[in-house]
Structure 1
C-alpha cells in the first residue's frame, strides 16, 4: 500500500478556491505544481489501483485542471506529469528498443499430465518447491522501465529481445505509476496491458453504432490500441494493466513473494488472484477454480501460470533459448459455441438499414474468436427470445458471419429489446419497411462513412486509397459531408490528416480525377441505392439515361427485367429525395461524366443468367463482355431467360428454376461454342 503524502494540502479535503494564476510568483507556481502532481498521482493510485478514492471525481477534475493551467501559464511541462495521461502529439512511428533483459515465452499446455511432468523435472533437479500461481492474462505484454523512481519508457514484448517504444501510450494508462517513492535506483517490471470487459463492450458498442467494425476480442483491442500513433486516441480508450514480474532491479529479491510485495508496496497494480501453492496439485486446483470463475472476472484470462517461488532454485534450473525452465502456463480449453449476450446494440449500414447486433462474451468458434453476432431484425429477436444476459448458441452463417441461432437460457427480465424510434448515430427518423428499419437521414455519418467507402470501391468508382480508415477520417474531420465533397478535396486538406503525406494526397487526387470518366451503370451502382447491385445498375443504365432514370416512376422502373416492386420503389425513392438529387448534381458539376456503354448488336435481345464460375473469366468480365455486345445479364431465371450458363460449383436454385421455366442450360464448353465464339 502506497503511503499517503504528508503535509500535502491537496490530498484530504483540499481547498479548491485557487487564486488567479496571474497573481502567483514563479516560486509559488512551482510549489503548487509540485504539490498538485504528488497529490494527483496519489489519487490516481487510490482510484485505479487501490479502488478506494479519497476525493470526489469533481474535486479531482478541479485539481487536474488547475495543474494544466499552471503548467501552461508558467511553462512547467514534464513528460511524467499526470497531465500527460490525456495524450500528447501524434507519433510518426514507433521506434525499436532493446529490452533490459530478454522477455521469454512460457512452456504451455492444457494437458494436466504435461504440467505434472514439468513438476517432476523440477523436483528431480532441485527437490521440493512451492509455486506462485497467477492468472494467465489474455492481454498485451509490456516492459516498463523506471530510473531513479521516474517512468522512463515502456516497450512491447516484440521478439523477446527488442520491442517497440510505446511510452507515450502506456503513460496514459491511469494504473501505471509515473513516479515511485522509495523505489530502487534501477527497476524494470513486466506487466500485461488489457481492456476490461465492460470497457471493451462499450468501445465495440460505439464502433458498431458508428458503422465501424468492432474488435474481435479484448486482447486485440488492447494490442491495437497500445500500438496506435496517436496518444490522445489511446487516452480515450479503456486500458488497464496488471504487473507481475520484476525483470531487473538494484533491490535484493530472493523470491516471487518478495517480488509481489515490492510491486504492491511501490503502487503497482497486482492481481488479487495471485497466490502461493504448496505443490503441483495446488496448481491444478487453482486452475480449476479460476476456470470456473473466469466468466465473473472483469478481464480475460486463458489459463494460469505456475512459477517456482525460490529465486535460488530458479537460478539452478536456468532457461532455454526460448523459455525459463522454472515456469509453466497451464491453459484453459477454448470456449466453443455457447456464450452470453452482454449487450444488444444497433448498427447503421450504408443504406441506412438498422441491424441489431449482439455483443458477446468472446468465444472461440471454429478457431476464430467471436465477439458479436447479427440478430438480423426485431422479428428475429422476438422469434428467438434473445435478451441481454441470455446464454446463446452461435453459428457462423456460411462459415463467415456469426449469428445467434438459439437461446439456451433466458437473460434478465428487464433485458427485452426494441428497435429505436430514432437513429442511434444521428437521431434521424427511423421508418419500418417490412421486417427492416431504416434511418431516413441521407447525411447520417454512419451511412456516409460506409457510402463513401462503397463509392470508392473497385466495382464502383475505383478510387484507390479510400478504405475504411480513410473514409472514417474524412467524415470524422468534417472534410466530407456528402459524396460530392470528395471532388472538392485539396492537397492541404489531406496532408492535415494523421498518416497522410503529400505524395499520398496527390495520389488520391489523381485517382479522383481519373474516376470522373465513368460508365453510367458503374456510377449508378456507386451511388449505393438500396437493393441495386452491379447487375441491376447495368440494367437500369441500359434502359435509361441518367436524366431519365432520375425522373422515372416506380411503374416505369418495373418494366425492366429483374427489377421487382421493392427495387423499383427503392430507386424511385432515392431520386425523390432532394439531398440525393443535390449530391448527383454536385458530382456532375465537379466533372464526373457518366456515359452509357456503347452496345453492339451481335447478342441483341439475348438474356443470360450465370450460376457457378466459368474458367478463365471473372463474373464481372463475362457480364461486361456480353452486355457490350447487346445481351442482358440478369441475376434470376424467368420465362424471358434464353440461357442459364452452369459453371463450376453451381447453385441448385437457379437450375431448378431453369427446369421449371424450360430454360436451356449450357456448360462452359457449350457457352464458349454457342455464344463467345460469335463475338
Structure 2
C-alpha cells in the first residue's frame, strides 16, 4: 500500500475579518492622519495578512494577490511600524536582516541531529528492512506492522529551528550533531520560515529542515553575481551554505534561500512554562501525521513524500525520484526511508552516530572521467570571460556531456589544466558541468588565457580570479545584458523590454548599442514577428517616458560594476548632476558614503572607457537627460547621531532625510554611539529602554527643535521653506 499526503487547511488571517487578504484596498490615508490606536490596529491586520500572503506564495505556491498589491501592503506595514514604532519581533518586516554580527556563536541543539546510514545499492536497503523487522520482533512488536515514510533527501544545509509559544526563537546549523552555528538572524530572512506558527502548536517546537537555494533562483542569482563582477557559486548547496554563514543578515536576506521541514526534534512544554504548556497539543504517534501538523502550523514540507508498507515499494519510490530529479527545482541526492511509528522508532533506538530506524538510499554519483579536446573562451553579457572545456563526450548521470565550465583563469591555473589532459567531470541536475580536478596530466604546461577579447578584440583585464573584456557597452557580446539591465525595475523600469524582445531587436539589427533604443519607431517594431501596433506604440511611449529619468535611475541603468540602486542613490545625492559626476576623480568619488577605493576605481574605469562614454553621450544626443538632484551641503549637524521613535509632526523618513541633509546620521536603533533619542507621541518602549541602558539622552520634539535651532537648523523640516 502507498499513501499520498495532503494537509488540513489553516490560515493566518480570515478574509471575513481581515480586509487585506482578498482583493485588499491599497489606497491608504496618510500616516499623519492616523491616531496611534488606529495605526496599531491597521498594522496588526496588515501583519496577519502579509503572513498569509507569504505563506500562500512561498509555501503553497498559490498567491492570492499580485506582486504589486503585495508590495503596497508590505510598504504600508513598514511605514506604520516606522512612524509609530510598532515593529514586533515576529513581524514580516524583520526579514530584511538585522545588524551585522562579529562572529557566529555556537549553540547546543535541543536534541541530537544525527546523520543517517546510507548506500547506493538496493540490497543494502533490503538488509536495513530485515534489521528493522528483527529489531521490532525482539522488542515484542509484530514485524509485519512496520510502515515506512519515504522522503526526498535534500542536498542543502541542515538546520534546527526552534519556536516558543508559536514564535520564532532561534536557528542553528547541524554542526557536529550536538551543537552548531547560531544562524537565527540569517534564517529569519527566509520567506518560507514562519515568524509565527499558525494554528495550535506546542509551547516548544524544534524542527529540522533543509535550507537550499532553488535551481531557477540559483541560476538567476549567479547571473547577478557575474553582472557585478563577482565569482558565481559552483552549485546550489555551496550557495545555501555560504549564505547561512554570512555575518551580515542583510546579505542573507538578499539571497533566494528556501527551506523544507522534515522532522520533529522536540515537542512539548516551553522553557520556564507553567500552566501555559499544559494545553499544548499532544505529539502525533506517527511521523506521517507530523506532516499534517507541519501543514497546520504553516511549516513548509516536501510534497513528494509517500507512506509504504513494503520495502520494495520504498525502492520503487527511490527509482521514480531518481528519474524525475532533473525536473525538480531543488537538488536531491537520494531518498530517506524512515520507520513511521514513533513507538517503533523508540524501540529500535540509535547508535552513537545514526538512528536504526532510518536509511538513506542514495543516487549514484554524477561524475565521470574524460579528455579535454579544446578550451574556448566565452564572453558574458557583462564582459566576464568564462573558459569552457571541450570534451570527449561522456555520460554523467544519464546525460551525455561534451562541455564543462572552467569558471575563470584562476581556476585554470589552480587545476593546471590544458588540452589533452584527463579530467574528472561533475554534474548535478541543471547545474552546468564543471571540472573539479585533473586526474591524469597528459599535456605540457597550463592553458594560456587570451590577452584580448575573442569577440571585439579589446584588451582583457584581470580582477582577482576573474577576467573581463574592456570593450564595455561597445562589445556586441555585452549588448543584450546592457539593454536588459537598463530596462530593469530598479533602473529605468521599461515595461515590455524583456530578454526575448531585446534579443529579437538585436538580431533584427535595430539595436546595436544602448542609445539605439531611442531611435526605435512604431513602424520598426510593428514589422517584427509577434508585435502589433499597440505593443509597438506602448514600447515607444515607455522609452519616451524615460528620457528625463532621476539621476540615480540613470546611473543604476548603466550597469557600472559595483554600482547597484543604493550606491547610485548615494552618488546622485552627493554629486547632484551627471556632468559633475562624469568629471569626478577617484578621490572625489571616495567622499561618497559606501564608495571605497575599489568601487571608486571601478566607477572611474567604467566612465573612462571610450565605448561606455560614447554610450552615455549617445543617450544624451537622443534626448535622454537625467534630472539633476538638489544637493544639500550643510554640515551644521556634522557628527551628530540621532534615533527617532514614536509619532512625530512629520514622517520618520522625512525626519531622517532632514537631519542627514545637514550632516547628521539617523539610525534605526539605539547604541552607545547614539547622541540623542528623539521621542514623539506613543514612543516605543524598547528604544526607551535601550536609551536608558546606554545612557542616551531622550528629547521630546520641542527640545529637539531647540537643539537644532542652536545650530541654525529649522524644525520641523517644512520650516526651512
Provide TM-score, normalisation by structure 2.
0.53
Write the mapping of 1:81-230 to structure 2, written as runs, cut at 5 A. 81-126=91-136, 127-128=143-144, 129-181=146-198, 182-230=200-248
Q: Name the counterpart of 2:474.
A: 430
Provide Cα deviations, 1:544-576, integer angstroms capped at 9, x if missing partner.
Answer: xxxxxxxxxxxxxxxxxxxxxxxxxxxxxx999
Q: Name the counterpart of 2:692.
A: none
Partner SS state of residue 214, structure 1: coil
Distance 1:345 1:179, change over 3 A: farther
Distance 1:145 1:392, change over 3 A: closer
Q: CA deviation at 1:183?
A: 1.4
Higher Rg: 1
Q: CA deviation at 1:429?
A: 3.5
Partner SS state of residue 285, structure 2: coil
- Separation in 2 of the partners of 1:71 and 1:426? 46
- Separation in 2 of the partners of 1:420 and 1:274? 52
Provide TM-score, normalisation by structure 1.
0.56
> Are residues 1:314 and 2:358 paired?
no
Provide Cα deviations, 1:92-122, integer angstroms capped at 9, x if missing partner.
Answer: 2221111111111111111222221111111
Distance 1:190 1:90, change over 3 A: same
Tell me if the contact between 1:421 and 1:429 (Cα under 8 Å) persists in the aligned partners. Answer: no
Provide Cα deviations, 1:270-296, integer angstroms capped at 9, x if missing partner.
Answer: 111011111211111011000000010
Q: CA deviation at 1:210?
A: 3.0
Distance 1:30 1:400, change over 3 A: farther
- Separation in 1 of the partners of 2:381 and 2:240? 25
Distance 1:279 1:486, change over 3 A: farther
Q: CA deviation at 1:165?
A: 1.4
Q: Name the counterpart of 1:5.
A: 13
Write the mapping of 1:396-475 to structure 2, written as runs, cut at 5 A. 428-431=472-475
Partner SS state of residue 104, structure 1: coil
Q: Name the counterpart of 2:35.
A: 25
> Are residues 1:299 and 2:369 paired?
no
> Are residues 1:268 and 2:299 paired?
yes
Distance 1:421 1:137, change over 3 A: farther
- Separation in 1 of the partners of 2:346 and 2:478? 65
Q: Name the counterpart of 1:444.
A: none
Partner SS state of residue 41, structure 1: helix
Distance 1:487 1:17, change over 3 A: closer
Tell me if the contact between 1:90 and 1:230 (Cα under 8 Å) persists in the aligned partners. Answer: yes
- Separation in 2 of the partners of 1:101 and 1:336? 35
Distance 1:20 1:122, change over 3 A: same
Distance 1:428 1:100, change over 3 A: same
Partner SS state of residue 102, structure 2: coil
Tell me if the contact between 1:36 and 1:63 (Cα under 8 Å) persists in the aligned partners. Answer: yes
Distance 1:183 1:24, change over 3 A: same
**Number of equivalences:** 432
Distance 1:169 1:394, change over 3 A: closer
Partner SS state of residue 83, structure 2: helix
- Separation in 2 of the partners of 1:65 and 1:426? 40
Q: CA deviation at 1:485?
A: 8.2
- Separation in 2 of the partners of 1:346 and 1:63? 41
Q: CA deviation at 1:374?
A: 6.4
- Separation in 2 of the partners of 1:325 and 1:52? 38
Structure 1, unaligned stretches of length 5 or more? 377-388, 402-417, 442-471, 499-504, 509-528, 530-573, 580-679
Distance 1:255 1:70, change over 3 A: same
Q: Name the counterpart of 1:80.
A: 90
Distance 1:196 1:576, change over 3 A: closer
Q: CA deviation at 1:212?
A: 2.2
Distance 1:4 1:151, change over 3 A: closer
Distance 1:192 1:23, change over 3 A: same
Distance 1:497 1:150, change over 3 A: farther
Range with bigger deviation, 200-209 or 156-165: 200-209
Distance 1:73 1:314, change over 3 A: same
Provide Cα deviations, 1:454-480, integer angstroms capped at 9, x if missing partner.
Answer: xxxxxxxxxxxxxxxxxx989996999
> Are residues 1:324 and 2:335 paired?
no
Q: CA deviation at 1:354?
A: 4.4
Partner SS state of residue 114, structure 1: helix
Distance 1:106 1:493, change over 3 A: farther
Q: Please tell me the root mean square deviation across aligned C-alpha atoms, in Å.
A: 4.7
- Separation in 2 of the partners of 1:252 and 1:391? 40
- Separation in 2 of the partners of 1:82 and 1:281? 44
Q: CA deviation at 1:208?
A: 2.5
- Separation in 2 of the partners of 1:2 and 1:419? 56
Distance 1:485 1:119, change over 3 A: farther
Partner SS state of residue 132, structure 1: strand
Q: CA deviation at 1:322?
A: 1.0
Provide Cα deviations, 1:333-355, integer angstroms capped at 9, x if missing partner.
Answer: 0113599xxxx984489xx6744
Q: Name the counterpart of 2:251.
A: 233
> Are residues 1:51 and 2:61 paired?
yes
Q: CA deviation at 1:577?
A: 11
- Separation in 2 of the partners of 1:179 and 1:108? 35
- Separation in 1 of the partners of 2:61 and 2:611? 54
- Separation in 1 of the partners of 2:320 and 2:44? 46
Q: Name the counterpart of 1:670.
A: none
- Separation in 2 of the partners of 1:14 and 1:420? 52
Q: CA deviation at 1:428?
A: 2.9
- Separation in 2 of the partners of 1:75 and 1:169? 23
- Separation in 1 of the partners of 2:384 and 2:65? 45
Distance 1:167 1:150, change over 3 A: same
Partner SS state of residue 259, structure 2: strand
